[in-house]
Amino acid sequence: MGTSTVGTAAGYRPSATLPFLAEFRRQASRRRTQLALGFMVLLPLIILIAFQFDSGDDDNGGGEFGSLISFATSGGLNFTLFSIFVSASFLLVVVVALFFGDTVASEASWGSLRYLLAAPVPRARLLTVKLLVAAAYSGLALLLLAGTALAAGTLRYGWSPLRSTVAAELPPGEGLLRLLAVLGYLAVVLLVVAGLAFLLSVSTDAALGAVGGAVLLWILSSILDQITALGVLRDFLPTHFSTAWLGLLSTPVQTDDVVRGTISSISYATLFWALAYWRFTRKDVTS
Amino acid sequence: MTSRLSIRRIRRALPTGRRAVVAALVAVLLAVAVGWTVRPRGPELRTEAAMLTVRSGPDGQQPVDLDTTFYLPEEASPGHQVPAVLLAHGFGGTKESVRDDAEEFAGRGYAVLTWTARGFGRSGGEIHLDSPDYEVRDAQRLLDWLAARPEIRTDATGDPRVGVVGGSYGGALALLLAAHDRRVDAIVPMITWNDLSRSLVPDSAGGPATAGVFKKGWAGLFFGGGGSVGSGPAGISGNVAAQPQGAPASAGPPSPDPGAGPGSGPGRAPGPAADPSCGRFAADVCAAYLRIATAGRADQAAVDLLQRSSPAGVLDRITAPALLVQGEADSLFPLSEADANARGLAANGTPVRVAWFTGGHDGGDGPESDSDRVRFLTVQWLDHYVKGAGGAPGNDFTWSRIAGFDALDRGLVATGYRTTDYPGTGGERRTDVAVTGPEQQIANPPNGNPAAISSVPFAGGLSALLDGVAGDVPGQHARFESAPLAEAVDVVGAPTVSIRAASPTGEAVLFVKLYDVDPNGAATLPNGLIAPVRLTGLPQRLADARPVTVTLPAIVRRFESGHRLRVVVATSDQAYASPAEPVVYTVAAGDAPVALPAVAGEPIPTAAAVWRWVLVGLLAAIVVGLVVVVAVVRRRHRRHDSSVHPEYADVPLVVQRLRKEYADGFVAVSNVDFEVHPGQVVGLLGPNGAGKTTTLRVLMGLTQPTAGEIHVFGHRLVPGSPVLSRIGALVEGPGFLPHLSGLENLKAYWRATGRPEPDARFAEALEIAGLGDSVHRKIKTYSHGMKQRLAIAQAMLGLPELLVLDEPTDGLDPPQIAEMRRVLQRYATDGRAVLVSSHLLAEVEQTCTHAVVVNKGRIVASGPVEEIIGESPSVLFEVTDPDAARTVLDRLDGVRVLPGSNGQLVVDTNGTARSEVVAELVRAGIGVDRVVPRRRLEDAFLALVGETSRGSGDR
C-alpha cells in the first residue's frame, strides 16, 4: 500500500469522503424513506378519491379552512393548495422530522456511525452531508406532494385560476407562482423542525426519540401559541408564524408576517444546527 | 484536587447534563412568561373620580351632576403644569368606555378629563343630542374646571391648554365645543357627523333632509337603547373591543353593549315622571324622533332640531386645528360627513387634516395597522397643537384599503396610503365605466317588506353571514352591468351613477348600490354601503324621465380587472323606511357612465418593513459567521496536519500516557503506553472492563482522550485525523445497515471513504469473510458470527497498514477462529501491523507476536509474546509434604518460595535448574507429584483475572 506524503491512505481526501450521492443512495435504500416519499404521492390521490364521495351538501365549517375545502375542487391549483394546507400542520412536520431526526441517530443505533467516523469521514463533513441529504429529501417530499396534487388535481378539476376568500381570483400563471411561494415559505417554516430534529438526532442513539421529540416540541409550541394570554411572547414561539403563508394568497401579497416567520425560522434553525455541530464535533461516540 | 472533587460531587448531585439543560430552559421560559404576565402595566398616573355639578341649560343656571374621572400624569404639579385633553365618549357609553385612551394620553404627559355625558350612566340630566345649550355647555364648564386646576397649563386666566378628542357622539361634541368656545386649542373628532339630519334622513340625489329617506335601522338602535354606539378607531376612542371580523365587504361592528343604552343606565333610575316612550331623552328630542319614525319622513321642526346638534352650521366659527378621522365601513356617518366638515373648516382657513380607516360604526376598530396610524396621527396632532412639541403635522391625507385576511389572527389586513393634499370624496381623477341594461319594472313592497339587506347595524359575527343573506329581492330591483374591466380600478371616493325612473305616483324611493362582480358571478357590496334617494316629480312613462345623478357613498376599493360593475336600483332596504303603498316603478340607466373617482397615493410603509432589513441582516450574519467558522476550522486543521513526529514516522501506532475519564468521573483508562511496530500482531489483553475498548475508541477517533497522545505513523491522532484512513477497524462489534446486503454494505462503506473502488480489494476481503452466497442476503438475516466476519472483512478493505480488531473471534466457531489466526498472522507482513484486543489469553498467545496486558486502565505487562510466554523463573511444585519441602527449599541458595495455595508451592528458582531442585526435594524424602513450569503472561494474567473468570476457564 502506497502512502502519500500527507500521511493518508492512497486516494483518501477528507473532502471526498461520504459523497452526497453515496449518502443519498444509503438513505434511498431505506424503507422509511421510500414509504415517506410514497405517501407524499399517495396523499393527494387519497384526498382526490375522498372528494368523489362528497355529496356537496355538507357544511365544512367556517373560516378559511372551510373556504379552502369548498374551493378545493375548483381546479388543480386549489386542489394543490388544499393538499398543502391539510398536510402542513402535521404530516409535513413528521416527514421532515423523520428525514432530519433519523439520519444520524439511526447510524448510531446500527453502529455504522463509528465506522464512518473511523473511515474517517470528518465529523463536520458527515453532518453537512447528512444535513444536505435530509434537506434534499424533505424538499423532494414537499415537491412530490405538491406535484402530484397539481397533476392529479389538474387532470380531475382542470387548469383554473387560484381562488380563495382572502383575495381575488389569481390567474393560473400567477396562481402557480403564489403556490411556489407558499411551498417556499413552508419549507422555511419547516426548517425549525429540521433544526430541532437534527439536534436531537446527534444527541441520541434512538432515532424514534429524535423524530418524536421534534414533533412533540412542535406540537407543544403550537399549543402554547393557542394561549393568547401569552401575548407578545407568542411571537417567539417557533410555530407562531407557521400559517403566515396564507398571506401569500392575498392581493397584494402580505409579506410582513412571512418575513417575520422567515426570521424566526432561520434563527431557530441556525441555532439548532449550530448546537448540533458544536455538540457532535465534540461528543464521545460511544454507541 | 479537593476542589475538583467537590465540584464533581456537586455535579453528581445535580440532574445529569442534558436533563439539567432542558429543566433550566423550561424554568427560564416559565419565569419569563410569569414575569411578562404580572409585569406592571402602563405608566404611573393618578386618577380622581368625582361627581361634578355644573350649571348649564339655555340660561346657564340648571345644575346637572356629571360623573367624571380626572387622570393626571405623575409628573404633573403646580410647578410642572401639563396640557389637558378633554376626552368624550360615544353614544351609549360612559367615562369608563374611554379609560384605556385616557390612560394612554396620560402616559404621554396629558392631564385627561373624562366624563359621562348627561343622560348616560350615573350622570344626571337628559339627552339633548350634543345640544349647544346642554352638552356643549356642560363641556364648557368642564373647561372652566380644568382651568382652575393648578396642574393644568393655561394660555390665559380661565383658558386651559386643551385638546378635545372623541368618537361619534363625542366627536360631534368636540366640533361643537370648538365652535362655541375659543379656548379649545385642537380637536380630533372621529367617525362623527356633519349634519345629523342628513345622516339620519339622507338623500343621495342631493335633496333636503325633509325629503330624505329615514335611516330607521340606526335611528332605532340609537333611540331604543341599542349598543354603545359610537366609538372611534381603536386605541383612541375607546370602547371598541377586539372582535371577529367579517368579510371585507361588511366587517365587524363595535361590540354591542346591551343595557348601557340611554333608557337603562345603571345607577340613576329615570325619574318617576319619565315618559316610558322617551327614557332619558329630552322631551323635544324624543318627540322629534317619534314624529320621524312614525311618518318615515322628517318634518322641518325635526330637521331644525337635528341641525342644531350639527357642526354643519357653525364650522365657520371653529378655529381650533382639526384632525378628522372617519371610517370607511360606516353606514351611519359615512365618509361624506367628514368630507363636509373638512371642506367647511378649510374654507375658514382652519388647519384640517383628514384620515380614513377601514373600520367605523359597521367595521369597528379596523386592523391593527389602522389603529396604529390613527393613534400616531392623533398624538402628533395633539403634541403639536396642544403640547407645543414636534413639528407641524401637515395636511396630507391618509387612507387604507382592506387587503385581505391576516393569515395569523384571522383579522383584516389593510394597506395604508397617503397623498399630499386631501382631494375630497370626488377624487383627483375619474374613470368612467358604462353600465347597460334594459329598462326594468320593479315593485315597491307594501310596508317595505320583504326588504333587501345591505348592512345590519351591529351585525357582529352575523356580518360574515351577510354574504349569504345580503342581496336583493327578486322583482324589487333592477340591474345594470358593465363589461368586464380591462384593467383594475382603484376607487377612492364617491362614485356617481345616473339613472332614470318613472313612477305612477310621481314619486319614488330608490336605493342605488354598486356591486363588484367577480368573473364567477359572486357580487360584493363594498362595506354594505348604499345610496337612498327620494325622487319626486317623476313622469308616468320612462320616455319622459330625465336622468338623475346619484352620488354613491364614498368607498375605498380595488375593482380587479375582469370584474364587472353592477349598479342595482332597489325599492326597499332593511335599514331604511320606504313608502308603505305598493307601487311599480320603471327604471333605466341614465345618460352618464358610472364615474369612479381615484386618488394617486403612495403606500405607507408599515413598521414591519424594518423586519425585511432584519432578515437581510440575519442572512448576512449567518453567511459571514459560516465563512468565519469554516476559515477558522480550516486553519486549525492545517496546523494539525503539519505536525509529524519524526521519531515515530514509521511506527504504525504509538500510545503514550493515555488517560480517559468519562463525564461521570469514571476513569476507564488511567495510564496506557504501548507501541505497535510493522510486522507485529499485538494483542491487547485484559478482562472485561479493563479499558481495552475505550483505548480503541480513542484510537479510532470516536472519543476524546482526557490526556495523553496517540501517534499513527508519526501523525498525532485526533478525532477525524486523515491518518485514520490508514487504519482498518472493528470496534465494539459490527455496525451495518440492516436493510442492505453484506456486499452492498461493504460497497456503501467504501463509497463513504471516497477512495477509488479498485483500491478496496473486495474480492480479498470477501474471501476472508467466507460468507459465500450469503453476502447477497440482507444483513438483518445474518447471524452474529456472520456479521462479525463481514465486519472483519470491512476492516480489511483497502488492506490498511494497521488493522485494529476488537474481540475479533467473538461469535466465531473454533475452525473459524483458527482460520482467523492464520489470516491475521499473514496480514502482518509487508510492513503491516495488527492490533487485536481480547480477553482470551489463549487467543493472544496463539495469534500475537506481542502482548499488552491491561487491567483497571493500567498496563500490567507488555512485550513479545515469546518473552512473556517463555519460561518463567517460577515453578509450581505439588509435593507430599509442603512444610518439609519449604524448609528444604529455603536452604537452597537463591531459591525463594512464593506464597502459594495449600499443597502447592510456587517457587522462584532464580536460575537454579529445576532438575536440581527436584533432586534436592527427593533427597530430603519428599515425594514430588507434579512440577509445572509457569509462564510470565499467565502469571500476570491469572493474578488479574483469577481462576473463576471466563478468561481462565477457557484454557
pLDDT for A233-247, tens place per residue? 888 888 888 888 878
Predicted pLDDT at B229: 41
**Residues of chain B scoring pLDDT < 70:** 1-24, 32-43, 225-275, 404-411, 456-470, 607, 640-643, 869-873, 899-903, 935-955
Beta carbons of B611 and A270 less than 8 Å apart: no
Chain centroid to CA B708: 50
- Strand, coil or helix: B652: coil
Report the relative pairing of strands B162-167 and B84-88 from DSSP bridges. Answer: parallel
In a domain, B256, yes or no: no
Give me the DSSP letters along B390-423. S------EEEEEEEEE-TTT--EEEEEEEESS--
Q: Which of B404, B560, B713 is closest, CB to CB, to A166?
A: B404
Q: Is residue A189 part of a domain?
A: yes
Q: Looking at residues A117-124, what average pLDDT do you find?
A: 89
- Cβ contacts of A251 on chain B, cutoff 8 Å: 403-404, 560
Q: Please, is A56 exposed, middle or buried when counting C-beta atoms within 10 Å of its C-beta (0-12, 13-18, 19+)?
A: exposed
Cβ separation of B611 and A166 shorter than 8 Å? no
Number of independent structural domains in chain A: 1
Residue written as grid cell 509487508:
B830
Higher pLDDT, B521 or A277: A277
Q: Chain A closest CA to B609's CA: distance in Å?
A: 7
From the CA of B468, how many Å to the nearest CA of chain A? 13
Query: Contact at 8 Å (CB) between A187 and A269?
Result: no
Instruction: Give B602-611 pLDDT, tens digit per residue.
Output: 888 776 778 8
Identify whether B440 is part of a domain: yes
The partner residue sitting opposite A263, judged by closest CB among B611, B731, B732, is B611
Nearest to A114 among B37, B732, B801 (CB): B732
Rounded to whole angstroms, what are the CA distances from B955 to B685, B815, B869, B900?
Answer: 15, 17, 14, 21
Contacts of residue A7 in chain B, CB cutoff 8 Å? 641, 644, 713-715, 722-723, 726
In a domain, B686, yes or no: yes
Residues B690 and B799 in one domain: yes
Domain contains B810: yes
The long-range contacts involving A234-241, CB below 8 angstroms and separated by at least 24 positions, are A235/A260, A235/A264, A236/A264, A238/A192, A238/A196, A238/A264, A238/A265, A238/A268, A239/A192, A240/A264, A240/B408, A241/A189, A241/A265, A241/B408
Pair B827, B931 in one domain: no
Domain around A81 = 18-50+60-280
Model confidence over B192-220: pLDDT tens digits? 999 999 999 999 888 888 889 999 888 88
> Does residue A287 lie within any of the structural domains?
no
Strands of chain A, DSSP E: 162-164, 167-170
For A183-218, what is each residue's pLDDT tens digit?
Answer: 999 999 999 999 999 999 999 888 899 999 999 999
Smallest Cβ–Cβ distance between B611 and the set A121, A248, A260 belongs to A260
Q: Do A251 and B560 touch (CB under 8 A)?
A: yes
- pLDDT above 60 (res A280): yes
Nearest neighbour of B754 by CB, restricted to A13, A63, A124:
A13
Assign A173 a pLDDT band (cuts: 50, 70, 90): confident
Is residue A5 included in any domain, yes or no?
Answer: no
Task: List, in order, residues 6 or more apart from B630 with CB less than 8 Å away.
Answer: none
Q: Do B730 and B825 belong to one domain?
A: yes
Per DSSP, which regions of B318-406 are E strands?
A: 322-327, 352-357, 397-405
R_g of chain A, CA atoms, integer Å:
21
**Across the strands, what pairs with B683?**
B836, B851
pLDDT for position B518: 83
CA distance B746 to chain A (A): 11
Q: Based on the domain organization, do B717 and B840 belong to the same domain?
A: yes
Distance from CA of B413 to the nearest CA of A (A): 8
The answer to whether the CB of A95 falls within 8 A of the CB of A41 is no
**Min Cα separation A72/chain B (Å):** 15
User: All 3 cell numbers of residue B722?
Assistant: 486523515
Residues B691 and B789 in one domain: yes
Residue A6 belongs to some domain of the structure = no
Same domain, B387 and B492: no
DSSP per residue, B878-918:
EES-HHHHHHHHHHSSS-EEEP--TTEEEEE-TTS-HHHHH
- Tens digits of residue pLDDT in A136-148: 999 999 999 999 9
How far B414 CA lies from chain A's nearest CA (Å)? 10
**Smallest Cα–Cα separation from A126: which of A115, A110, A141, A138?**
A115
Would strands B871-879 and A162-164 be described as parallel, antiparallel, or unpaired?
A: unpaired
Of the candidates B644, B727, B754, which has its C-beta nearest A17's C-beta?
B754
Q: Which residue of B has its CA nearest to A269?
A: B622
Count up the domains in chain B and report the number: 5
- B76 lies in the same domain as B23: no
Q: Do B407 and A246 touch (CB under 8 A)?
A: yes
Chain B residues in contact with A286 by the CB 8 A cut-off are 697, 702-703
Phi-psi sector, B187: left (phi>0), alpha (psi -120 to 50), beta: beta
- B833 and B895 share one domain: no
Q: Which residue has the cell 318615515?
A: B296
A64–B633 CB contact, under 8 Å: no
To the nearest whole angstrom, how far is the Cα of A142 from the nearest Cα of chain B?
21
To the nearest whole Å, the CA of A16 is away from the closest chain B CA by 5
Residues of A in contact with B719 (CB under 8 A): 117, 120, 123
pLDDT at residue B903, as a whole number: 66
Do B48 and B72 contact (CB within 8 A), yes or no? Answer: yes
Q: Do A169 and B560 touch (CB under 8 A)?
A: yes
CATH number of the domain at B512, please.
Answer: 2.60.120.260
Which amino acid would we find at residue B447? Answer: N
> Which residues on chain A are in Cβ contact (under 8 Å) with B32?
233
Question: What pLDDT is stored for residue A54 in this prediction?
Answer: 66
Three-class secondary structure of residue B655 per DSSP = strand
Chain A residue with the nearest C-alpha to that of B467: A165
* Domain final position from B865, B896, B919: B865
Handedness of CA B130, B131, B135, B140 (dihedral sign): positive
Q: Which of B384, B419, B454 is the last residue of a domain?
A: B419
In terms of domains, do B352 and B483 share one? no
Does the residue A148 lie in any domain?
A: yes
Range of the domain at B816: 646-865
Please tell me the predicted confidence (pLDDT) of residue B896. 76
What percent of chain B has a predicted confidence (pLDDT) above 90?
A: 34
Q: Is position A4 within any domain?
A: no
A250 to chain B: nearest residue by CA? B404
> From the list B612, B702, B740, which residue is nearest A284 (CB)?
B702
Whole-angstrom distance, CA of residue A91 vs CA of residue A84: 10
What 3-state DSSP class applies to B176? helix
One domain, residues B365 and B450 = no
Q: Which residue is closest to B706 within chain A, CA to CA?
A: A284
Same domain, B360 and B444: no
Question: Which residues of B are less than 8 Å from A260 in CB distance?
Answer: 608, 611
Please give the pLDDT value at position B940: 63
Give the C-alpha separation, B461 to B245, whole Å.
7
Q: How far does the CA of residue A202 sit from the closest CA of chain B (Å)?
A: 13
Which of B405, B722, B738 is the closest to A250 by Cβ?
B405
- Chain B residue with the nearest C-alpha to that of A74: B520
Q: Are B171 and B55 in the same domain? A: yes
In a domain, B505, yes or no: yes
Q: How far is CA A145 from the centre of its chain?
A: 11
- Smallest CA–CA distance, residue B74 to chain A, in Å, is 27
Instruction: Report the residue of B725, B732, B784 to disrupt the A interface, i.e. the one with the largest count of A CBs within 10 Å.
Output: B725
Of B562, B735, B749, which has the smallest distance from its Cβ to A111's Cβ? Answer: B735
Substitution target in A102, A113, A256 with the highest count of B β-carbons within 10 Å is A256
Closest by Cβ to A121, choosing from B615, B644, B752: B752
